[in-house]
Structure formats: structure tokens, C-alpha cells
Chain A
């Protein structure tokens, strides 16, 4: 009977799963993150199995991937993993299996193989969103001078964005909170750390729209050329699901 393996939804956790699969020669049916555990259906022909995260085995597997394929491939796998797409674990596992089988020496760095191409495209989408989100973060100022922003990206890209903001606002205190995944990053002027906010409403209530936000909305409306209005192009460049946290699109959102 093949196993339905559950793990703690982290990348290191997933790598530990793969490591254990090889070490114990497990028969893998499916790999499922805890994040989906609540609503997921149970396959009665698979036996549930739990593997805990082990940093050491994750580190060893990373080293093995770098040796066999290269640093950039590991980065691609990590980016693809961040998509949190259903079944992404089995796709990455399929790639790793073929990579370590050593059957085809041209396999490791071929971006167009059957196993790699979907991962490559997903990773591209994730990196694209991470780049795009850099512009879509909107800070508002709390009473103690901290700049706070709430985001809901489609993929788990917050970690990929932190470096950018740390360089840019090195002297400020700021926090970005991913309210979809319920975690955030707080930067205190020296270093960034992961934070959880139990009561999000209390924080957002403290940052009401101020005059600067109003000026920004005015600017936004003044800069568009009425004769060239193009709602389809707007939605293609700036999909509607991002509008929720953009003050300049807020008044329009109710209408649409």
C-alpha cells in the first residue's frame, strides 16, 4: 500500500520528506502539506504517514541538488514550491527522482524536459508576482511612526520581497503582513523578523486613511487621460484581486 505523506508545509519539511523517502525506501502515493489538511479528501487506498522536518536532512538534500544540477535549479524548485499549488510536491519529487536516477546525463540542466518545464513556468509566475508585488505594497503610517502594509498575494512571495524593502527603507520601521497566510515581517530599523498578528483589525483601525492617501488618490485620478480609457488593459496589468489593498482603486471597487 502506498503512503500519503503529510508534512509541515515548509520547503525544508518537503526536502526532509524526500530525504526520508530515499533513506527508508518508502512507496510514495502522495505528498500533502498540513495547510490543505482540513478540507482534503482521504484516499482510502493510501496509508497516512507523517514525516517531521529535519534541518540536517534538508541541508544534505539541498547540497545533493546543487551538486547534481546547480544552485539555480534549487532556486527554481524553491520558487515553484512557493506557488503552493495542489500537487506541486509530486511534480518536484518527479523531477528529483529522475535527477537522482542518473539515467540521462543531459536531464539535470535541461529546462524543457517533461518534469522541469512545468516547474520552470510555475517558478517564472511566482518570481513575476514577487517582482510585481514590490510596487503594490501600500504602507500606511501608524501613530507610533511604524509603516504598516497588508498584502494578499496569490503565491507565498513575502520572503522574496523583504530584501528589497530592507535596502530601500533601511532607516524606517515597517511591517508587511500577508493576511492570507497569516504571517508577516517586521523591520525595526536594524533587522527583519517574522511576526504574527493575532488581532489584525486592531492594527488596521490604527491606520486610518490620512491626507497623504487622499492626495495620492487625487493624483491617481488626475493623471489618467479620459480619451484613452481602457478598462480591459487596466485589468490585464493590474488584476482585480490586487485592488483590495490599493487605496487608489478602493472607491472604484464598490462599483465594479
Chain B
């Protein structure tokens, strides 16, 4: 088997890992070495599913000894198996890097032999890149659950980012789907690395080694087991606060294995739900929202028709409309249609002059959404109070109507099936959130 075959097998085996970011590390180029980190991160291309590719994301090996139900590389699957030698992987990384194809290496592996043995192989690659080839590019190393602390610590000294995937948001479902794993075994390496990072950071010396400069990330599968969005957001908010996670990724479950514990193989990936979860995640990371503001016990699932920011604004009509000239920056951020950049621009420019509606539009504010939520001399009197039940319908993005083909019998006269009638939501936010919640929850759960 040559490198090309191995690359095909092991890249395809790694594609369900969502993380692709190369941000957070500004590692300088080493003297006489190759490459450096760019703290903003650089995307090098986008694959045909629209996801950014910035790292060479491969497994070291896909010959796994575990048998997790959701995973493509599980022991009981009949797929071609391959293993890179460290040298092949290092040469490939350096050649790709010199041609500016990639920002660095994302190295993960199936568990071969013991977790410690696997971890040692990963570290060997990273160590050789850093010390022998003086490679300064980005390295993302997976921590293998069950590897010893000594190895985790060593990995942190060579890698920019480390990650352990939590996979399934609830412990019970994880143990059901992946008998060899549980939450405790996944949280242990996370906590260990988070503590070491804090220790290294406390040392202010210029010469103290870099320890995971880009922090940690994790990933969970959405739609393979029956958790609510509220549970998922609570968990990810905990990761941001306690484990100092840089990112929590969501991966809409793509059915790859026929397994009676999982949704049926014909299930479509819950892409809308995944998108809404990312929007909620953005609200927590950049818009200063708390997880329990986005959802609560009464509204356990995100509204699939409206983005979570609008949903929050419609649940709080008492806060709006706000005065664009005097409102706090935090409040500007909460207006649907105003993003971080326009909020900064508004805050920077309103000290010098009054902001008119047409200026707002030129600043890039989406007036279609924002006009209901801001108070302004130019605002028509009819829009100076917020009536959530009235504007809800206007804020929902309807798909463009399409002309049906008269002669295509397969596509004409399709009435909505009874189950999908839940998508015709009632105009009251609470009711619709509850009713749309069943859409992507598996029937087997």
C-alpha cells in the first residue's frame, strides 16, 4: 500500500471530525525552521460540503480496537484499514506546508494496542516535526482517552491545540452507544490539560515553554441520541467556563452504520438544528449571552424557524425597542440584525454625530430585522412598540416559491405528510418551539 492509498483511507476516516480551526496560536518561526502560527487562523480551501480546510486532517491509523456504534472506524465495520508510518506523515505535512496547501497538521488516531501506545505514536510525529524539522506550523493533537498523564503533558508541549471528543452529550447515552467509554474517562484528560495550561500561564518568564497555546476543543454528535438543545448548551457552556475550552463543535449525526441503537440509516443529517446550535454557540462566545438566557426548562429546544437571537428578543418585548444613540454596547449586540462589527462601528461613531437610519444601513446593519428593535427619531410611530406575535411571521425566512413542472408526475401533487405538519408553527413562540422539538429526535431513543 503506498502513501496515496493510505492518504485516501485515512483522510476519509478523519472527515467526521469537525474541528478545522488553526487559530489561537501565534507561535513564531524558529530560527532556520519552517512555518509559524497565525493567531487569527487561515482557511486554505473549502471542500465541496462547504467546510473550511485549513489543516491536514488525518488519522495515524484506523485499525481501532473499540466498537462505538456511531463511528465509521469501529472494530465491527468492514472497511479498509491502514496505518501511516511517522516518516510518511511528516514528509507529507512538510511538503503540503511548503506549497501553502495547509496551515499545519491535525493528527488523530484510532486506538491501536493500548491508549498509551497510540498516544506515544502521535507524540512521536509531533516531536519530530518540532525538534528535527523545526516546524513552527499549527499542530492539533487528539488526546486519546485513557492515555497516561505523562503522555498528555508531553503532547501539550509540542501541540498548539489538543482535543478529546465528548461525542454524546449525556453520559448514559454514551455508555449505551460506546460501551468502552464514559464521560469521566473523557473529562479526566480535559481537566488535566486545562490545569497544566493554567500552571504554565502563571509562569510569566519569556523562556517558559508554550503549553497548548491554542487551548482545547471538543465535539459532540447531535441527533444520535435524544438530548434536548438545552442540555447540549448547558454542557457546552460548562466546557467554556470550567475547562476553558476554546471551541465546542457540533456535528449533525450522519448515519453511517446500521445499528439498532441509532436512528435509522435513512435519516437525513439534522443540518438546521446543527446550524441553530452553532448560532447559539456564537451568542455565548461573541455576544455575551448566558446559556440559560438562550433556552430554559420551558423552552428546551431551539426554534428551527428563527435564529436564537431573534427568539430571545421576541421573548423579551420589555427590553425593546432600544435607543441606538444611548443604549449600552452589550444591548446593541443583542439587537437582531446588528452584529459585532456594526455594533462596534455604532459605538465608535455615535460619540461624534447622530446616527440616522440610512447610515445604519450603510454600516451593514440588516434593517429588515433590526428595524423592529431600535428606537430612533426616524422610526415610524407604528414601530415604536414591539408586538412579538405580529413580527414573528415577518422575521421567518420563507423559502422562495418554485414553479412546479406541469409534466413531471413525480414532483407534482405532493401533499405534506402528517408528521411534517409540525413545521406549520403557531404564531406563539413557546408553542412552536415545543412542537418543533420532536423533529430530529430519533424514534428509537
Contact = CB atoms under 8 A, between A and B. Distances in A.
Given A225-B15, A228-B49, A234-B46, A212 B36 contact: no
Interface string B91-104: 01001101111010
B12 to A, nearest CB: 4
Contacts of B49: 224-226, 228-230, 233-234
B16 A225 contact: yes
A172 B98 CA distance: 9
A132 to B, nearest CB: 7
Contacts of B15: 222-225
Interface residues of B, number: 58
Contacts of B42: 131, 134-135
Given A139-B98, A225-B16, A246-B45, A112 B34 contact: no
B48 A167 contact: no
A109 interface: yes
Contacts of B100: 135, 137-139, 149
Interface residues of A, number: 58
A238 B45 contact: yes
A178 to B, nearest CB: 16
Given A112-B363, A168-B36, A224 B345 contact: no
B35 interface: yes
B353 A147 contact: no
Contacts of A214: 4
A32 to B, nearest CB: 26
Q: Specify the main secondary structure of chain A where it touches its partner.
A: helix
Most central of A140, A170, A219, A238 by chain B CB within 10 Å = A219
A134 B101 contact: no
B29 A229 contact: no
B121 interface: no
A167 B29 CA distance: 7
Interface of B: 3-4, 7-8, 11-12, 14-16, 28-29, 32-36, 38, 40, 42-54, 56-58, 92, 95-96, 98-101, 103, 252, 254, 269, 271, 345-346, 348-350, 352-353, 355, 359, 362-364
Given A171-B33, A225-B51, 11 more contacts: A112-B350, A112-B359, A117-B363, A121-B362, A121-B364, A137-B100, A140-B99, A141-B98, A169-B34, A233-B46, A237-B43
